[in-house]
């Protein structure tokens, strides 16, 4: 049975705010700066934007060198905004200024199409205090890398490593990795810590990761990873590397911990003592000299393009009022296919399928380079009784989505199902590609299991069903896995 991925979740915010628009939006000068691995939309000028791109390149290079198993090329595109000052960030993300006393230096949000980070360039990294003002966004960036690198990481390791890496401080001469993060130390000193064995065994469903408990969980996880990386002159770092490699390769995390790091019970006292100390070590790393910021390409954006990019950011932030204002600015400036995509995404969230399809069709016909437009139009066009012509139309849309993002796992998954329904003999290979990109997604596993069973590869299909059951994050997904298993066994028994 052809099963597209679930539709975009509809969430409504009830917030009363005044409409925020960029003053003289058409006159604002927006540019795009491209480095080898990042594209930044900016109103902060070439110099500040190139510096931000250079810093991100340094961080990416650092992660790739330190953790060879990490997949640093993100499957879901990362869109970065560089803003010249607080007012500019406030207009892009007004939510964080709606309560008195609020205000941020960076914002991260995951949208249906892309992940977005917005950063003020007038806030400099404080190398003297060893504090990264963008730590929240860096935490999100590292989390994205970890999520796509390993099917399911233990929360203590995923959140602890992201916490340590998030306070990476870069100046023109060096990279400071892992300076102590004041926010974690303050939380640790408040007390109420979990035992180390409980911390290591915790899953995402654990009460330790719920509500206010998450603050202490993150602080303790940061401390444990920091201890394993830097304590005793880095004596434990190699063991942490062995542990991470085993888990990335699919080993049981608890077994891997005991084999490489030791018994959690034996670490209880030394880690507690480490948490209570006043001085912490960190590592200074040389810059990647191959990254030359003067070679980054800079392009001036049209007002319509700049407005449409802001519209998509507002959509991700679930701010329909600001999104539609930016869409209107784009249309007044001559129009943009991405403005129509933003409109389609808003309509989709409002469950207005026909209107959403029409808007997405305008976006794709207009030549948008956003792969989500083609993927989402395909899922909205699909129907259970689709004829051959419709299925071929879906194939064309999905093929375009994949050409624009060759790491688009959801598009491979859906493409596999459509191709199988059209009689392709090796459609399962597309589903396996989705799994290789997102090993922790149960849906991809079940798609592959169905298609492998149709190809009479029953034993391999059952392996993926088991993986899907292990990865199921809801009762509905677990029931689906059980149903697929029963169907495969029935097919296998009747061969």
**Residue 251 covered by a domain:** no
CA distance 427 to 417: 7
Residue 179: which pLDDT band, with cuts at 50, 70 and 90?
very high
**Residue 424 covered by a domain:** yes
Three-class DSSP category at 299:
strand
Is residue 293 scored above 80 in pLDDT? yes
- The DSSP code sequence of 325-391 is HHHHHHHHTT--HHHHHHHHHHHHHTT-HHHHHHHHHHHHHTT---HHHHHHHHHHH--TT--HHHH
C-beta separation of 141 from 207 below 8 A = no
Tokens 């993150």 locate to 218
Quick one: how many helices (H) and strands (E) in the chain?
21, 9
CA distance 81 to 157: 29
pLDDT tens digits for range 225-261: 999 999 999 999 999 999 999 998 888 999 999 999 9
Phi, psi dihedral angles at 170 (to 5 degrees): -125, 130
Q: Apex CA 336: angle with CA 332 and CA 342, to 5°?
A: 100
C-beta separation of 97 from 103 below 8 A = yes
Q: State the average pLDDT over residues 280-298.
A: 89
pLDDT tens digits for range 125-143: 555 568 888 888 889 889 8
Q: State the average pLDDT over residues 145-174.
A: 88
Better-scored residue on pLDDT, 127 or 188: 188
pLDDT tens digits for range 306-326: 999 999 999 999 999 999 999
Q: Which residues pair with 79 in a beta bridge?
A: 116
Q: Apex CA 169: angle with CA 96 and CA 46, to 5°?
A: 70
Q: State the average pLDDT over residues 379-404.
A: 96
Better-scored residue on pLDDT, 134 or 197: 197
C-beta separation of 420 from 394 below 8 A = no
Three-class DSSP category at 229:
helix
Q: What is the CATH number of the domain that holds 413?
A: 1.25.40.10
**Residue 332 covered by a domain:** no
- How are beta strands 283-286 and 169-170 bridged, if at all? unpaired
Give the number of other CB atoms < 10 A from CB of residue 142.
Answer: 24
Which helix (DSSP H) or strand (DSSP E) does residue 475 occupy?
Answer: helix 475-493
CA distance 228 to 195: 17
Cα within 13 Å of Cα(405), Cβ side: 27
Q: State the average pLDDT over residues 138-159.
A: 87
Residue 239 CA, chain-centre distance (Å), reads 27
Three-class DSSP category at 407:
coil
**Residue 108 covered by a domain:** no
**Residue 195 covered by a domain:** no
Number of domains comprising the chain? 1
CA distance 458 to 437: 23
**Residue 101 covered by a domain:** no
**Residue 69 covered by a domain:** no
Q: Which residues pair with 175 in a beta bridge?
A: 170, 285
Q: Please name which of 155, 147, 78 lies closest in space to residue 439, comparing C-alpha atoms.
A: 147
C-beta separation of 117 from 140 below 8 A = yes
Give the number of other CB atoms < 10 A from CB of residue 293.
Answer: 17
Q: Token pair for residue 165?
A: 């890496």
CA distance 415 to 336: 27
**Residue 463 covered by a domain:** yes
C-beta separation of 155 from 132 below 8 A = no
User: pTM of this prediction?
Assistant: 0.84
Residue 385's domain comprises: 370-495
Residue 28 CA, chain-centre distance (Å), reads 29
pLDDT tens digits for range 75-126: 989 999 999 999 999 999 998 888 766 668 889 999 998 999 999 998 865 5
Q: State the average pLDDT over residues 277-294.
A: 87
């Amino acid at each position: 049975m052809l099963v597209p991925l679930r539709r975009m979740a509809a969430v409504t915010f009830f917030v009363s705010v005044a409409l925020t628009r960029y003053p003289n939006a058409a006159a604002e000068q927006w540019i795009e700066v491209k480095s080898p691995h990042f594209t930044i939309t900016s109103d902060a000028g070439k110099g500040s934007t190139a510096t931000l791109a250079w810093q991100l390149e340094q961080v990416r290079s650092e992660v790739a060198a330190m953790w060879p198993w990490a997949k640093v090329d993100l499957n879901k595109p990362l869109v970065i905004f560089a803003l010249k000052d607080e007012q500019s960030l406030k207009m892009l993300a007004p939510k964080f200024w709606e309560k008195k006393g609020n205000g941020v230096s960076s914002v991260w949000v995951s949208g249906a199409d892309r992940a977005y980070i917005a950063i003020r360039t007038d806030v400099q990294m404080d190398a003297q205090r060893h504090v990264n003002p963008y730590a929240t966004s860096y935490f999100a960036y590292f989390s994205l890398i970890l999520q796509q690198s390993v099917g399911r990481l233990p929360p203590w390791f995923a959140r602890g490593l992201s916490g340590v890496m998030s306070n990476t401080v870069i100046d023109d001469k060096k990279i400071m990795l892992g300076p102590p993060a004041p926010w974690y130390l303050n939380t640790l000193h408040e007390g109420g810590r979990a035992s180390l064995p409980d911390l290591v065994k915790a899953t995402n469903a654990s009460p330790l990761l719920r509500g206010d408990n998450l603050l202490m969980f993150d602080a303790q996880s940061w401390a444990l990873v920091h201890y394993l990386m830097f304590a005793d002159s880095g004596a434990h770092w190699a063991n942490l590397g062995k542990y991470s490699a085993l888990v990335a390769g699919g080993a049981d995390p608890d077994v891997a911990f005991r084999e490489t790091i030791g018994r959690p019970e034996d670490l209880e006292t030394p880690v507690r003592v480490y948490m209570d100390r006043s001085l912490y070590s960190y590592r200074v790393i040389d810059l990647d000299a191959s990254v030359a910021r003067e070679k980054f390409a800079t392009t001036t954006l049209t007002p319509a393009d700049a407005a449409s990019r802001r519209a998509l950011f507002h959509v991700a932030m679930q701010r329909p009022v600001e999104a539609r204002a930016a869409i209107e600015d784009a249309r007044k400036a001559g129009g943009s296919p991405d403005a129509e995509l933003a409109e389609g995404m808003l309509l989709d969230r409002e469950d207005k399928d026909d209107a959403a399809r029409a808007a997405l069709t305008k976006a794709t016909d207009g030549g948008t380079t956003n792969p989500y437009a083609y993927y989402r139009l395909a899922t909205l066009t699909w129907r259970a009784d689709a004829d051959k012509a419709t299925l071929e139309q879906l194939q064309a849309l999905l093929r375009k989505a994949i050409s624009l993002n060759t790491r688009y796992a959801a598009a491979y998954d859906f493409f596999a199902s459509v191709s199988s329904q059209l009689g392709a003999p090796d459609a399962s290979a597309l589903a396996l590609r989705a799994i290789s990109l997102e090993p922790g997604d149960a849906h991809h596993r079940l798609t592959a299991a169905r298609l492998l069973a149709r190809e009479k590869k029953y034993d391999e299909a059952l392996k993926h069903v088991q993986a899907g059951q292990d990865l199921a994050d809801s009762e509905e997904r677990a029931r689906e896995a059980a149903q697929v298993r029963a169907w495969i066994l029935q097919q296998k028994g009747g061969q």
